[in-house]
Amino acid sequence: RIIPDLEHPRQRYDRARIAMLTRSVGNYGMVSPPIAEEIGPREYKIVVGHRRLLAALFAGMEDLEVKITGKLSPLERLEVQIHEDSQVAFTPWKRAEALCRLYEMKCELESEFANRGERRQAKRYTYSEFCNFMGISESRFRNSRNYFYNLIDEVKVAVQEGRISYPKAVWI
């Protein structure tokens, strides 16, 4: 049994793009299989490849190759999802939200190590260290973080629902 990751940063899918992907998968098969982690006996959670899995199901594929990985921490799962989705159609809004969430998780993890008295040096990730790890510019991360935290809640909801674009939300 395969279930979706309900915490995945991308929650909305463009129907037209899913239809195009479904035709492609139907015609050429799965070029890059989804990745899932085992969460129980014969039970798996999709880490990346939600769109590909949907397209394969819509294309009527009964047998599907899925790469299985070991158990991932929430931090590891989010890192993989951000890296995978940054290659595809990650909206600026979702990327900003996911990057901010990942940054906070990394900082919390460091605090947990410090609180347990582990040898790791207690520190908060600097923007520079985080950006280097993620392979993004510091200015891009600072802008994403500022936009994410400074948008009015009503505007955030409008962007999430697709009623206004992210650039327009920033302008507001």
Q: Please give the average per-residue pLDDT across 15-19, as a whole number.
A: 83
Q: 99-114 pLDDT, tens per residue?
A: 888 888 888 777 776 6
Q: Do 172 and 152 meet the contact criterion of CB atoms below 8 Å apart?
A: yes
Residue of 113, 114, 140, 111 lying closest to 128 (CA atoms):
140
Q: Do 111 and 122 meet the contact criterion of CB atoms below 8 Å apart?
A: yes
Q: Do 155 and 147 meet the contact criterion of CB atoms below 8 Å apart?
A: no
Return d(Cα 66, Cα 44) in angstroms, integer.
10
pTM for this one?
0.54
Q: 51-92 pLDDT, tens per residue?
A: 888 889 899 988 888 889 888 888 888 888 877 765 555 566
Tell me what pLDDT residue 120 has. Answer: 52
Tell me what pLDDT residue 98 has. Answer: 78
Return d(Cα 161, Cα 155) in angstroms, integer.
10
Q: What is the SS3 assignment for 48?
A: strand
pLDDT band at 3 (very low <50, low <70, confident <90, very high): confident
pLDDT at 157 over 70: yes
| Phi and psi angles of residue 38, each rounded to the nearest 5 degrees, phi first | -75, 125
Tell the residue number behind the tokens 């129907």, with chain if given.
Answer: 15
Among left, alpha and beta (phi > 0; psi -120 to 50; other), residue 28 is alpha
State the burial class of residue 12 (Cβ atoms within 10 Å of its Cβ: 0-12, 13-18, 19+).
exposed
pLDDT at 34 over 50: yes
